[in-house]
């Protein structure tokens, strides 16, 4: 079990969840964390934007500032990401815990990149500034028909800018994440997100077992 291990102990694994709004990420984050915990592994959940106190404040600013300049938006997101990374991601990983994160920098590539026109190059520049070469060990990209995610979202009746999206935007976001899964296939896997929560969880588990199965042994 040498893969990615720092000297002095086995590093934990970092799993991120990505996908459009309304695809059920948060539920699957919870279900996966529970399953890992039931296996005896130590697990932390975090999310972006947010995770820690400062990140949650930045999240509140983003959610309450419709029409924010896209560059300002991406800078705030990466500021929150840096806080999350150094406080909520790296320390538990170094202690051998698994960390499951609801969204990570792929979301910026889709929302601020594809949707708001910030270049992929600039986003990757910020990514490198914030976390260097660090990458998730596994990224689950939840994929679902735009009509279904849009319907689910409207049932939640959310009115903030981030959630109030039309079908075309859902379609664009879906395509963006499909592309992410393709470009980062070394770490990312596209998972069909329709069907019951249990069915989706089992699809995710199969992928995790295949890609990270050798790390599913809890330390004594």
- Chain residues in the site for ligand TYD (CB under 6 A): 21, 25-26, 47-49, 77, 103, 107-108, 111-112, 162-163
In this structure, what token pair is assigned to residue 207?
Answer: 């992928």
Compute the least distance from the CB of residue 108 to ligand TYD, in Å. Answer: 4
**11 or 25: CB nearest ligand TYD:** 25
Task: Report CA-CA distances (Å) from 125 to 105, 110, 150.
Answer: 11, 15, 32
Compute the 3-state secondary structure of the chain and give helix, strand, coil in percent, each to the nearest 5: 55, 10, 35
Measured from each CB, the residue nearest to ligand TYD is: 111
**61 or 199: CB nearest ligand TYD:** 61
In this structure, what token pair is assigned to residue 79?
Answer: 């500021």
**115 or 216: CB nearest ligand TYD:** 115
Residue 196 and residue 200: Cα distance in Å, rounded? 6
DSSP SS3 for 14:
strand
The torsion defined by the Cα of 137, 140, 141 and 144, in degrees rounded to 10, comes to 170
**49 or 92: CB nearest ligand TYD:** 49
């Amino acid at each position: 079990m040498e893969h990615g291990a720092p000297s002095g102990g086995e590093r934990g694994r970092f799993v991120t969840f990505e996908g459009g709004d309304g695809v059920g990420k948060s539920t699957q984050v919870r279900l996966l964390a529970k399953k890992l915990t039931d296996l005896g592994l130590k697990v932390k959940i975090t999310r972006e934007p947010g995770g820690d106190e400062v990140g949650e404040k930045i999240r509140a600013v983003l959610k309450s500032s419709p029409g924010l300049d896209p560059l300002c938006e991406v800078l705030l997101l990466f500021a929150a990401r840096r806080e999350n990374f150094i406080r909520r991601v790296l320390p538990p990983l170094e202690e051998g815990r698994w960390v499951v994160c609801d969204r990570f920098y792929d979301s910026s590539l889709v929302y601020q990149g594809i949707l708001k026109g910030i270049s992929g190059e600039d986003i990757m520049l910020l990514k490198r500034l914030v976390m260097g070469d660090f990458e998730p060990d596994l990224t689950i990209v939840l994929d679902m028909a735009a009509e279904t995610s849009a319907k689910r979202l409207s049932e939640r009746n959310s009115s903030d800018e981030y959630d109030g999206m039309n079908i075309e935007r859902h379609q664009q976001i879906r395509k963006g994440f499909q592309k992410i899964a393709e470009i980062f296939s070394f770490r990312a896997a596209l998972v069909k997100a329709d069907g019951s929560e249990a069915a989706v969880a089992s699809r995710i588990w199969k992928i995790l077992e295949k890609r990270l199965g050798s790390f599913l042994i809890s330390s004594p």
